[in-house]
Amino acid sequence: MNKNVFFVLILLIFIVSGSVFGQNAQELRVGAFLSGYLRPGQEVWYSVPTTGVGVLIVETKSDIDTYLEIYDAQNNLITENDDGDDLNAKIIILIGADKTYLVNLRGYDDDVTGPYRVYAIFSVIPDPIALRVDSSLTGRMEKNRGNLFIVQPVNNGILTISTSGDDVDTVMQAYDENYNFLTENDDFDEDINSKIDILVKAGMSYYFFVRGFNEEDVGYYQISASLASPPALRVDSTLSGYLESNGKNWYSVQAVRNGQLVIEISGDLDTYMEAYDENFTLIAEDDDGGQDLNPLIEINARAGMTYYFLVSGFSDEDTGFFRISARNK
């Protein structure tokens, strides 16, 4: 087949499939719903424009098993959901003003087919509650509502926010001061409580949105904040670490010379690693670049600069010991 014809065919398939992050997405306005009919294996894209800061709920109402994903304007996956209400999917996130979000709707598997409705609902953001580092607060979860906390660290480091208690199954999401989604957690360490560890800058504001896993979750919980410096991994050395279920381990490495900084994981776990520069910007990530199921990252480093590395399990169930080593070529 002629090469030009081949590439034209591939392009046509790519466009017709509708999988190019919402190309030809139908607009779904806040406060409205749209009806559709889902065919086997089909993906339907919607764009949701926002005008104010608040809580956005996107959910389906149907008799079929639906699945939802939501992306920001840069095509970064924010979060996803399968069964928010019976077999219907439901996503709840904080949103910024004057932004557009992309929603992907599909069946839980390729055999799902049938009619559905998809809704976009907006509510005013709750007043943020100040949570100080090295302190804890008691929160009350009300039916179908969430609580918003704001943390303003005075030092750089790893900020840990966690909930505790036996009354409420909490879900927690972290956002920066512009309401850009950072990460989320549901059941830390196979419990009903949630925990988030993020790399933070001094003087910046971070928001944590805590809600119940189900609309009916009502009760009290504790939320606490702590700040720590990541363990320092020296060049030409190795550290041992333990990865908890759904856990994340941070390390800092200071380059001793200009050149290649190589960070490698070893052990029997299936681990994943991300690298961040001194501005906490993601610069590299790897899954199985090292031996067996371990990652290896090699970055161009400058002498005297500090870089940060995040080690996690490839899946939430990966737990156990590992080793992390650094060398500067």
pLDDT-based confidence at residue 5 (cuts at 50, 70, 90):
very low
Domain boundary among the residues 162, 197, 228 is at 228
207 shares a domain with 117? no
For residue 71, is pLDDT > 60?
yes
* Mean local confidence (pLDDT), 292-313: 94
Confidence of residue 6 (pLDDT cuts 50, 70, 90): very low
**79 & 23 share domain:** yes
Question: Is there a single domain that holds both residue 281 and residue 192?
Answer: no
Provide the mean pLDDT of the chain. Answer: 88
Band of the pLDDT at 21, cuts 50, 70, 90? low
Question: Which range has the worst mean pLDDT, 154-163, 188-197, 248-257, 275-284?
Answer: 188-197
Distance CA 91, CA 216 (A): 16
pLDDT for the residue 76: 87
CATH of the domain at 51: 2.60.120.380
9 and 101 housed in the same domain: yes
Around Cβ 62, how many Cβ atoms within 10 Å?
19
Contacts with 7 (C-beta within 8 Å, 6 or more apart), sequence order = none
Residues 247 and 210 in one domain: no
**Residues 134 and 64 occupy one common structural domain:** no
Report how far residue 315's alpha carbon sits from residue 271's, in angstroms, rounded to the nearest whole number.
Answer: 8
Q: Is it the case that residue 177 has pLDDT exceeding 80?
A: yes
The pLDDT assigned to 1 comes to 44
Do residues 158 and 98 share a domain? no
Instruction: Please check the confidence at residue 15 and state whether its pLDDT lies above 50.
Output: no
The reply to whether 146 and 248 lie within a common domain is no
Q: Are 308 and 197 in contact (CB under 8 A)?
A: no
Q: Are residues 60 and 82 in the same domain?
A: yes
Going by pLDDT thresholds of 50, 70 and 90, the confidence category of residue 279 is confident
Print the domain residue range for 318.
237-328
- pTM, full prediction: 0.79
Same-domain pairing of 96 and 162: no
Domain final position from 87, 104, 124: 124
What pLDDT shows up at residue 4? 43
Residue 264 has pLDDT above 90, yes or no: yes
Average pLDDT over residues 225-249: 92
The rounded distance, in Å, linking the Cα atoms of 113 and 19 is 18
Considering the domain architecture, whether residues 67 and 138 belong to the same structural domain is answered as no
Max mean pLDDT range (7-16, 96-105, 209-218, 232-241): 232-241
> 229 and 281 in contact (C-beta within 8 Å)?
no
Number of domains forming the structure of the chain = 3
Tokens 């333990």 belong to residue: 242
- CA terminus-to-terminus distance, the chain: 46
* C-alpha to C-alpha distance for 122 and 85, rounded to whole angstroms: 18
Residue 218: its pLDDT value, please?
86
Q: Which two tokens stand for residue 49?
A: 């424009």
Domain match, 13 and 109 both:
yes
